[in-house]
Structure 1
Amino acid sequence: MTDWRRHPIRRSIGDMPLPEPVAPMLAVPGPVRDSEGWAFEWKYDGVRCQAAVSGGQVRLYSRRLRDVTATYPELAVLGRDTRTLLIDGEVVALDEDGRPDFGRLQQRMNLSAPTPARLSSVPVVFFAFDLLREGTRDCTGLPYEERRDRLLGLGIDRPQVRVRRHFLASDVEGAELLRAAREVGLEGLVSKRLGSAYQPGVRSPDWVKTPLTRTQEVVIAGWTTGEGRRSGTFGALLLGLHDETGLRFAGHVGTGFTDRMLDDLQARLRPLARRTSPFDSPVPREYARNAHWVKPELVGEVEFRQWTSDGRLRAPSWRGLRPDRRPEEVTLA
């Protein structure tokens, strides 16, 4: 049986084959691992990306292994390297103060051919944090510490490409780094076990993410009619996530939208209309009576305060669509 986690997407240019991407290794949520044998990396607010490089050519792949090379043409600078490499990292848009800004990145994520004006107004940076292949060598089985040393030794840093910094737990306290991340507006911290291999497609306890704000991926299952200045669009999105019973109702979100987001979402939701609820359990009447149901195909992300006792998001605010996520992957974070 084919292992889907290593199922290849074959690409080649001329006689120079590019490395095949692999399903990315994922982190589990949890507290900072502030002990010997661990290292820390900043958690940036961006989207996962693998860069395949060979013979001066580049291909970029999303978390879902879709080819997104045309979406981020400025990262073609990686092609100046003639070596064969497969690098895991994150695409980030920075604000005027050099901090990751997910809202700005939203203006690039869905564009297959960004205009020169958009490239100029919303440039992106590729933050590399892992080396999966170097030449003919598969590096995924090497310890994290060795992969990081090899990555740093590549010398790939340039304005559009940076190697994400890491810190050893033996040198600095994770709690101190987490405080620093909060002060400068970063998303949080990732703890990584020094001796761990890269496990394609696995959400492993060898990587632990500690976010500073609570976020949750959600499936859009419907919407309610807007009122007042939003009478021409929706008032709120009806949200769901998957558990052992199927798609369950997780609440609604009506804040955090820009005018551009409202228009874009309305256009995306219109062709997904359906007559019945997509949820596998009843939706409270106060939401169902005014609902416009849609096929649960779009994934987004919200920031929220906490979960209510009945399993709904409290005070959620919309952050944006996540085209790099599959609806069936959306479960309780």
Structure 2
Amino acid sequence: MTRLPHYAAMLATAGHLPADDDRWAYEVKYDGVRAIAYIDEQLRLESRNGNDITIAWPELSGLAPAEPGFVVDGEIVIEQAGRSSFQALAPRMHQRNPDTIRALAQTTPATYLIFDLLHIGDRPLIELPYAQRRELLEHLGLTGPHWRVPHLLPGPAADALAISQELGLEGIVCKRRNSWYLPGQRSPAWTKVKNVTHQEVVLIGWKKGTGRRAGQIGSLLVAVPDDRGSLEYAGSVGTGFTAAMLADLSEQLAPLQRPDPPIPGIGRTPDGVTWVQPKLVGEVAFTEWTGDGRLRHPSWRGLRFDKSVDEVETPTGRT
């Protein structure tokens, strides 16, 4: 079989609904793990930062073998009550123990939602318009027990977003019908519009809990990049944790401890804080940014082992 070339994931830009509806297609924005799939004699899955994550998702192995081989882009999700659940997905994202993975694949199976076709046989497709790639993808008939090509949302853009709101979904991705696939690039040809505000954050410390959380993590101190790429303090998050999340966080943070804050400008050091090297990325949901650039009412969603610190986006709307 032809050896399939490597492709880095194209990334969307946060923005607003387009006005020229006839030039765009609308997809659901899913709440999962982005993955490029290389499918020939075997399946190989790569995360958006290039890590091989095939072992974590054995229920997707049935996508292979395929002749000719092909490369697709999509999102690995766990669906509950008709929508993707990041909280259900989080325990599986960094699991590498084969026995645990097999058990989780039975109790909380994942689905690979495929939204683009990048290569087939010996032919790269990335310079074809999105609309043509989408048509070719649909003709492949990729429907199985744990994978499918999700339907596009009908336009206009405002209607597509309203449908996603009614269904309790995270938002939509608007894609220019004539756009190429740009590997490794963030492009306004793909524009994401969210119903719920989520933010990736960098963990910089934690504070001990009290009461029922005595002896555990009470809250996490987090930072986000500014428009120059330097990390700035964004406040703390103390809700949204499960017992399993807290145990995992304690294990992940323990080897990263350091004696002083990892970034400047935090101001008065909160009492009882343990500082850590800024190596871990997490995700929070929140209502808005405060006037001094802090997260208002943040709730923890989970660690993002599929993201590196330098991939955390500068937030929009933060002063």
| TM-score, normalising length: structure 1 | 0.90
Give the equivalent residue in structure 2 for 1:61: 46
What is the alpha-carbon distance in structure 2 between the residues aligned to residue 195 and residue 245 of structure 1?
A: 32
Cα distance in structure 1, aligned partners of 2:232 and 2:242: 27
For 1:129, the aligned partner's letter is: F
Are the counterparts in 1 of residues 39 and 65 from structure 2 also a CA contact under 8 Å?
Answer: no
Q: Percent identity?
A: 43
Structure 1: which 4+ aligned runs deviate by more than 6 Å? none
2:295 corresponding residue in structure 1: 313
Contact 1:18/1:52, CA 8 A, preserved across alignment: no
- 1:234 equivalenced with 2:217 (yes/no): yes
Inter-CA distance 259–117: structure 2 relative to 1 (3 Å threshold): same
Give the Å deviation of 1:245.
Answer: 6.6
Structure 2 segments unaligned to the other structure (5+ residues): none
Displacement of 1:115: 3.7
| Counterpart in the other structure of 2:281 | 299
Map 1:56-205 onto structure 2 (within 5 A). 56-95=41-80, 97-112=81-96, 113=98, 114-167=100-153, 172-205=155-188
Contact 1:221 1:294 in 2 (8 A): yes
Relative distance call for 1:146 and 1:70 in structure 2 (3 A) is: same
Check the 8 A contact 1:299/1:323 in 2, yes or no: yes
Q: Distance in 1 between matches of 2:66 and 2:150?
A: 18
Corresponding residue SS for 1:256? coil
**Could you tell which deviates more after superposition, 318-327 or 74-83?**
74-83
1:274 equivalent to 2:265? Answer: no
Asked if the contact 2:4/2:122 (under 8 Å) is kept, the reply is no
Q: State the alpha-carbon separation in 2 of the partners of residues 202 and 167 from structure 1.
A: 24
Aligned to 1:11: none
The Cα offsets for residues 103-146 of structure 1, whole Å up to 9 and x where unpaired, read as 10112111123443211111000000011101111111111011
Query: What amino acid is aligned across from residue 314 of structure 1 in structure 2?
Result: R
CA distance in 1, matches of 2:239, 2:153: 37
Distance 1:236 1:106, change over 3 A: same
Look up the match of 1:48. Answer: 34
Query: How many residue pairs are counted as aligned between the two chains?
Result: 311
Structure 1: state its 5+ residue gaps: 1-15
Larger deviation: 234-243 or 67-76? 234-243
Q: What RMSD over aligned residues (CA atoms) do the two structures have, in Å?
A: 1.4
Q: Deviations over 1:44-67 (max 9, x none)?
A: 11110010011x311000111110
The answer for the alignment partner of 1:27 in structure 2 is: 12
Structure 1 position 264 matched with structure 2 position 248: yes
Q: Which amino acid aligns with 1:324?
A: D
The residue type equivalent to 1:89 in the other structure is: G
Question: 8 Å contact 2:28–2:172 — kept in the other structure?
Answer: yes
Contact 1:32 / 1:190 at 8 angstroms: preserved in 2?
no
User: Matches of 2:64 and 2:260 in 1, distance apart?
Assistant: 49
